[in-house]
Structure 1
Amino acid sequence: MSTTSSTTGSDGFSAEERAAMKERAAELRAEGRKGAKQADGLEAVLDRIAQMAPDDRVLAERVHVAVTTAAPQLTPKTWYGMPAYANADGKIVVFFQDSGKFNYRYSTLGFQDAANLDDGDLWPVSYALRAWSPEVEKRVVELVRAAVS
């Protein structure tokens, strides 16, 4: 009995996962080029958002505005082909994964270990995001501000 699905190759990764790894390799090559600027990261994020399906694009645009307003010290860049925001050390703090990235039913707002969200021995670092509202915006801003505090 095979555990490989029709969408998973013999290496165990789906086509979407392999594409994300290739995107990350390209991002690392771009970061390594001399003269790579913060503007390049912003342009890459905005280009990636523009490529999203309409519902995901609306969420990504709102997340982008919320993050860049609440934490202007974070640098926009893509990370595995997703819009992400890094601290001064270049470590990803927060990212947005559109539902189409891996064919999920919801988009995800996620935080990496550089985020200051620690709360005892267990805390959430990923949130399902299906729609934008004033309440969602308030919560996202709170999370981002806590993450960079």
Structure 2
Amino acid sequence: MSSTESSTHEGFTAEERAAMKDHAQELKTAARRSSRADKAAEAERDVLAKIAEMQDSDRIMAERIHAVITASAPALAPKLWYGMPAYALDGKVVCFFQSAEKFKARYATLGFSDRAKLDEGTMWAAGFALTEVTAEVEARIGALVKQAVS
């Protein structure tokens, strides 16, 4: 085996393994919570705490996105999903915010699951790169999440 082959790893990255551990912990935490109202309130507190931990640029975007999503689509319930702020309908994630820092990416991402009703012909975007959240971006996100739950 050459030195190149031995240094190549085809498994999960450290960031991906950390995200899977986060998800396992999220499931355990959710199972321990008592009433549905408690679960929802505590899940939102978890999301806000995760956002507060982010580095400045990601945190600022995540705070604004959280505000836009909760105002534009109140049916979506905030929750953590693989250590990321996510928003679910009937317990199923519709959209999520992935900080740039989480996977050492050059930009943050607003992603949508297959539950989001964003269908447009035979091809449509399910993820959006974010470098800044301007008023125009907020309006676009608001429209997307409204459509996603329509």
Does TM, normalized by the shorter one, top 0.5?
yes
In structure 1, what is the Cα distance between the partners aligned to 2:33 and 2:64? 31
In structure 1, what is the Cα distance between the partners aligned to 2:78 and 2:33? 18
Q: Secondary structure at the match of 1:109?
A: strand
Partner AA of 1:120 in structure 2:
G
Cα shift at 1:57: 0.3
In structure 1, what is the Cα distance between the partners aligned to 2:7 and 2:87? 34
- Cα–Cα, structure 1 residues 41 and 14, in superposed 2: closer, same or farther, change >3 Å? same
Measured on the aligned residues, the alpha-carbon RMSD in Å equals 1.4
Instruction: Give the paired residue count.
Output: 144
TM-score after normalising by structure 1: 0.92
The aligned counterpart of 2:134 is 133
TM-score after normalising by structure 2: 0.91
The aligned counterpart of 2:22 is 23
Structure 1 consecutive aligned stretches of length 4 or more whose deviation exceeds 4 Å: none
The aligned counterpart of 2:59 is 57
Q: Kindly provide the CA deviation profile for residues 74-93 of structure 1, in whole angstroms up to 9, marking residues without a partner as x.
A: 110000000000002x0000
Q: Kindly provide the CA deviation profile for residues 56-79 of structure 1, in whole angstroms up to 9, marking residues without a partner as x.
A: 000000000000000111110000
The aligned counterpart of 2:5 is 2
In structure 2, what is the Cα distance between the partners aligned to 1:105 and 1:133? 18
Is 1:4–1:12's contact at 8 Å kept on the other side of the alignment? no
Q: Secondary structure at the match of 1:76?
A: strand
Identity of aligned residues (%): 50
Q: Secondary structure at the match of 2:102?
A: coil
Which of the two has greater helix per residue? 2
The aligned counterpart of 1:143 is 144
Structure 1: runs of 5 or more not aligned: none
Structure number, greater radius of gyration: 2
Structure 2: runs of 5 or more not aligned: none
